[in-house]
Amino acid sequence: MDDKRAEKLEKEMRELKSEVNSIKQLGAYVQEKYEELLKKEEAYLGEINESIERELTVIILGTVKKTINKEMAALKMLRRHLRNQVRRQVIKNIETSINHLMPEIKHMIKEEVRKVSLDIMNQLKRQTGKQLEKEVVEQIKESTSALIEQKEESERRAIIDQLTGAFNRRYFETKLEEELNLAKRFRNSMCLIMFDIDFFKKVNDTYGHQAGDAVLQEVVVAAKSCLSSADFLCRYGGEEFTVILSETKISEAIDIAERIRKTVEEHTFYGGDKIINITISLGIAEYPEHAILKEAIIAKADGALYTAKKSGRNNTKIAIK
* Contact status, residue 245 vs residue 282, Cβ threshold 8 Å: no
∠ CA 139-143-145 to the nearest 5 degrees? 115
112 in active site: no
Positive or negative: CA dihedral 281, 286, 291, 296: positive
Q: How far apart are CA 253 and CA 191, in angstroms?
A: 7
Please write down the HEC assignment for all residues of 134-175.
Answer: HHHHHHHHHHHHHHHHHHHHHHHHHHECCCCCCECHHHHHHH
Instruction: Please pick, among 15, 155, 178, 239, the residue that the annotation labels catalytic.
Output: 239
What span, in angstroms and rounded, lies between the C-alpha atoms of 215 and 193? 20
118: left (phi over 0), alpha (psi -120 to 50) or beta: alpha
The residues that are catalytic are 239
